[in-house]
Amino acid sequence: MPVQYDLHSHSTASDGSLRPSELVRLAKLRNIDVLALTDHDNIDGIREARLEAAKVGLQLIAGAEISVSWGRSNTIHIVGLNLDIDNPILLNGLRRLCEFRQWRSEEIARRLAKKCIQGALEGARAFAKGNIIGRVHFARFLIEQGHAKDMKQVFKRYLVQGKPGYVPGDWATLEEALDWIQQAGGQAVIAHPARYRLSATRLRQLLDEFQTLGGCALEVVSGSHSRDEIQRMAQLCSGLGLLASAGSDYHGPENPYMDMGKLPAMPANCVPVWQSPAWMSSQTAQAAIVPDSSSLSL
């Protein structure tokens, strides 16, 4: 049976609903052989996930999904894979983004309060369980309070551009994000590219800039891509000489369309990122890392 890869997933270290160890156990149950934990703008869950992966016999890839401001108003996500999570340049960059996230969460709460929605910060913090507060945590609070019936509705009413709880991102530049990933020995992947709804011209501009800065792969197979979008991204990869990645973008059971263990096969005209020399080199370096349970507070 072919090796099963899922190179995009989230835990409670960002906006996922499962602890890193629980996520690893689910991946094992779903017959995933290689799992990348790629929480938003942090690597806080990696050590816990590594320890559990060693217990259950699953290969854990250290990753992060870095938020990038691109163009006039676009937020793009860049997944870094095979990261050295002790690299100071990476850590300093992620720390800056986490500080912005903290300020943004306070600002979202202030804006919601102006619309007579009180206690949003405390409510979101309760859902975040001591981790970084994201928009998903505000969304869960708003649903709990009866302001919307589901995730789609709550984002549309409150948390997207032009709505009361929207706060523009002050994220990394594309150049910064790729530098942090490269300094940490990783490979850079544009996450779920079809989701940004860029025109063909703008998408090509993004890919050209990404390649010029050293980016290597496109997330062709994604839990948020339709089959037509997968084929379109596969053609772009093939035409531009980019590698292809695959990831569910799993956050939890509330979104069945981005479920773990249900990704379609990689299109035959793509070269998977895990077959690249850079990936092989990173794997050699990562093999020297032995999970240390003494550093964890489970």
Q: Environment class of residue 1 by beta-carbon count within 10 Å: exposed (0-12), middle (13-18) or buried (19+)? A: exposed
> What's the whole-number average pLDDT of the chain?
94
Count the alpha carbons within 13 Å of 16 in the hemisphere toward its beta carbon: 30
Return the pLDDT at 123: 97
Kind of pairing, strands 187-190 and 59-70? unpaired
- Say whether pLDDT at 141 is over 90: yes
Q: What is the pLDDT of residues 152-192, one digit of tens each?
A: 999 999 999 999 999 999 999 999 999 999 999 999 999 99
Return the residue matching tokens 């501009």. 205
Return the pLDDT at 254: 78
What is the pLDDT averaged over residues 32-50? 98
Q: What is the pLDDT of residues 213-222, one digit of tens each?
A: 999 999 999 9
Q: In the chain, what percentage of residues exceed pLDDT 70?
A: 96
Spatial strand order in the sheet of 34-37: 5-6, 34-37, 59-70, 74-81, 187-190, 217-222, 243-247
Residues in CB range of 21: below 8 A, 6 or more apart: 48, 49, 51, 52, 298
Where do the structural domains in the chain lie, given as residue ranges? Answer: 5-94+173-295, 102-159
Query: How far is residue 67's CA from residue 77's CA, in Å, rounded to a whole number?
Result: 5
Q: In the chain, what percentage of residues exceed pLDDT 90?
A: 89
- Say whether pLDDT at 294 is over 70: no
Query: Among residues 245, 190, 188, which one has the least CA distance to residue 220?
Result: 245
Query: How far is residue 237's CA from residue 126's CA, in Å, rounded to a whole number?
Result: 41
Tokens of 165: 């709880």
Return the pLDDT at 282: 85
Higher pLDDT, 288 or 10: 10
Residues in CB range of 110: below 8 A, 6 or more apart: none
Query: How far is residue 13's CA from residue 46's CA, in Å, rounded to a whole number?
Result: 9
SS3 37: strand
- Say whether pLDDT at 270 is over 70: yes
Confidence tier at 130 by pLDDT (50, 70, 90): confident
CATH of domain 102-159: 1.10.150.650
Confidence tier at 257 by pLDDT (50, 70, 90): confident
Return the residue matching tokens 């009866």. 146
Query: How far is residue 138's CA from residue 121's CA, in Å, rounded to a whole number?
Result: 8
SS3 172: strand
pTM of the complete model: 0.92
Return the pLDDT at 290: 56
Query: Among residues 137, 130, 73, which one has the least CA distance to residue 108?
Result: 137
Query: How far is residue 21's CA from residue 120's CA, in Å, rounded to a whole number?
Result: 28
Confidence tier at 207 by pLDDT (50, 70, 90): very high
SS3 220: strand
- Say whether pLDDT at 296 is over 70: no
Return the pLDDT at 293: 52
DSSP assignment letter at 17: S
What type of residue sits at position 89? Answer: I
- For domain 5-94+173-295, which CATH number applies: 3.20.20.140, 3.40.50.970, 3.30.365.10, 3.20.80.10? 3.20.20.140
- Say whether pLDDT at 291 is over 70: no
